[in-house]
Structures are given as structure tokens and as C-alpha cells.
Amino acid sequence: MAPSFRAAGTSVRRLFALSARPERADPKRPTLMRGLRFIGVSLLALYSAALGIGVLAETLPQSTPVIVLLAVAQAVPVVLLIYRPIAAWWLSLLAALPYLMLIGLSTGPVAVEALWPWSPAGILAHLFVGLVVAYQAPPPVYLAQWLITAGVAAAAEVFFPGQTQINTGLVLSGLYAVGLAGIAIARWLRDVRRELRHQVGLTEQERLQRSVLEERTRIARELHDVVAHHMSVIAVQAEAAPYRASALDPVAAESFTSIRQNALAALTEMRHILGMLRSDHDSDVRYAPQPTLADLDQLFGNCRSAGLTLTTGIRGDVRALPEQVELIAYRVIQEALSNAIRHAPGADVEIEIEYGRADLSLRVSNSPSPATGRHSPVAGAGHGLTGMRERAAVLGARLRAGRRDDGWYEVTMSLAVADR
């Protein structure tokens, strides 16, 4: 019962919401369309005013200023409709009452021939305003307005029983009812089309998601068939090498062990990546198996075994950061070190990590290769720098990479972490 009372209260408030604006007004509607709409209602209001002046001048004995005032009062709601529809409806109803009372109280011969209790201009204005409001307002509101309109016609018969004219209020109520039936059908068709567009949009979105998932599954399958196979072969060969060549010195044996460990680590991360590609859910849980900044020591150890001389520095309040931030930071450092290994083997590398209050700053720089004198390229043929910039863009960060004046190659990035 309580919801029914609340719904009734809401309908009553809407019925008397004089300051309410059109519910379906589009602020992005082109200025030309708004201008044409204003011109249209203005022309209708002028026609209603002209019609009202002509009819009232023939039926009422009042002076010309009074007749003009009554006619304009009946026409004004047509223009007000595009700004305050509920207020326009009430004004169109109230503007008809002076004519009703003047005809009802008159006993002259002209009054017998007059239309009563609504003038033709009043019927035109009130019917137009009522139907436009009905297209915007909920059914309880426009049904209540129709009942009030019919109630005015019935009240006129009660208070002025001696009138012999045909009650135009009954004609207005009938036209009003037919118009409301058409409005109800039009609103139903509009809702059906809107729901259909919504369902078509959902279907298209599901189709796109399915296509994306199928493409990701295909990529995952190709990665598994190609990369995982070769990495497995590398791991097996590195493990078997010390047994096939028994005369290996300890340094070479340690290198094969490192190769096997890196291959197995790559396979492990590959399995995580394949799981992410095959998943159709984008959640933070997908980052959980991935490495974090706490795993940098192992990464640094692998790079040192590959011939790099690393100097690391960590400043600030070391703390756990959001998993996505730590993953992206780890991947950027990993890719920068990989570039140094490929393009500047044996170089000196400096890594600085600074934990700020609102950000995490990274800097990875390397010297030219001592063996060949080569530098890490500013823009290589691969996709390493592109991948680092894409990862940084995920968190709205900007990554800078390039050669310094002293010949060293440097990669810097700052990630905002305060709001994450």
C-alpha cells in the first residue's frame, strides 16, 4: 500500500509542478530546430489570438481592450508550452474561465448564439497544450488533466443550468480523449523502438566482445604453439648441456643453469599471459600472478649474469603499490634492461626508483657497449619502446626515452599513485 501512496503523491506533485521544464528537451538540439519550434508555436498563438478576438467581439458586449486581453490570455499558453509545459496547461485552463463566466452570467440575445463554455480559440489552445503535455508527462498526470477539463464542462452545467447552447466542453473532452489515445499509442511505439535499439546495441556489443575474445584466443593459441614450444626446447637443452659436455667449466655450467631458469620463468609468465588472453573479464585479479617490484632482485641477478654491470638505488618510503602500477613499473624496467642487453652488451646500467608521496619515478640509463661502442637506439626496429609507452599510457603516465648529452641512453617514467 505504501508504494501506491508514494506513486500517487509523485503524480500530484508533477501535476502541480509549475516550474517544471520539458522533460525531453535536448540541450544539444541545433539552434535552427529550436528557432523553428519557437516560430511554429508563435504562429499558432497568433492565429489563436486572432480567432479569439473575432469570436469574442461577436459574442461579448465588453469593450475592445477586454476582448483583446481575453484572447491574448488564451493564446499565451501556446508559447509558454515550450518552456513550462505544466504551467502552460494550467494557464490555458484558467484563461478559459473568464469567457465561461461572462457567457454564463449574460442574458442578452447574443449570448444565446455563443459557443459555451469554451470558445473556439480556447478549444484550440487548450487541446494543443494538453496533447503536447501528454506526450511528455506520465499517464497519471495527463489523465488527471483530462478529468479536470471534463470536470470544468460538468461544473458549468451545474452552476449555469439555464444555458441552451451546445456544451463545447463535451466536444473538447471527446477530442481530448481521442488525442490522448493517439498519444498513448505513439508513446508505446516510441518505447518499443527505444527498447529495440537498446537490444540491438547490446547484441552488437556482445558480438564485438565475442570477436575480441575469439581473436585473443587465436593469439594465445599461436603464442602457445610457437613461443612456448621453443622456450621449452631451450630449457631442456640448457639442462642437458652439462651432461652432454662433461668438461664444462663451472662458469659455463652456471650460464646454462641461468639459461634454463630464465626459460622456465618465461614459460611461467607465458602461461599467465595466455590465461589473460583467454579470459573475457577485465579485473585486477588478472594482474595477481604477475611480477611486482619485489621481484626486481631476481631480474637484476639475471641481467648481471648476462654481462651487465648494474648500479641500483631506491629512495623514498618503500611500500606496496596497486598491483597494476607495480606490474607496469616492473615491465618498463625489464624492457629497458632487455634493450640494454641487446643493443649495448656489457654496458654499465644505473637504475633509480623513487617512491614519492603521490608518484613513483623510474630511471634506467646505460652507457655505450664497452666492446663495440654501440648505443641503445633512440628508435629501434622492434616494439620495445612502443610497448613501454603503451603500458605507461594505461595509467596516464608519459615515458621519455633518448640519448643524453654524455652518450648514455636513458628511459624515465613517473606514475601517479595517490588516487589509486
Question: What residue spans define the domains of the chain?
Answer: 14-166, 295-416
pLDDT at 271 over 80: no
By CB atoms closer than 10 A (0-12, 13-18, 19+), residue 149 is buried
pLDDT at 317 over 60: yes
pLDDT band, very low/low/confident/very high, at 69 (cuts 50, 70, 90): very high
Question: Which residue carries 637484476 as its cell?
Answer: 300
Rounded mean pLDDT of 120-149?
Answer: 93
Strand 409-416 relative to strand 359-366, pairing: antiparallel
- Of the two residues 121 and 265, the one the predictor is more confident about is 121
pLDDT (tens digit per residue) in 183-241: 999 999 999 999 999 999 888 888 888 888 788 777 777 776 667 666 766 776 776 67
Rounded mean pLDDT of 89-113?
Answer: 81
Per-residue pLDDT, 160: 83
Which of 266, 300, 272 minimizes the C-alpha distance to 286?
272
How far does the chain reach from its first CA to its final CA, in angstroms?
46
Per-residue pLDDT, 308: 80
Rounded mean pLDDT of 270-290?
Answer: 60
Per-residue pLDDT, 17: 86
CATH topology for the 295-416 domain: Heat Shock Protein 90 (3.30.565)
Measured between alpha carbons, how far is 341 from 349 in angstroms, rounded to an integer? Answer: 10
Most confident of 191-195, 366-370, 390-394: 191-195
C-alpha cell at 268: 611461467
Rounded mean pLDDT of 298-322?
Answer: 86
Q: Is the peptide bond before 140 cis (omega within 30 degrees of 0)?
A: no
* Range in 50-64, 165-179, 271-285 with the lowest mean pLDDT: 271-285
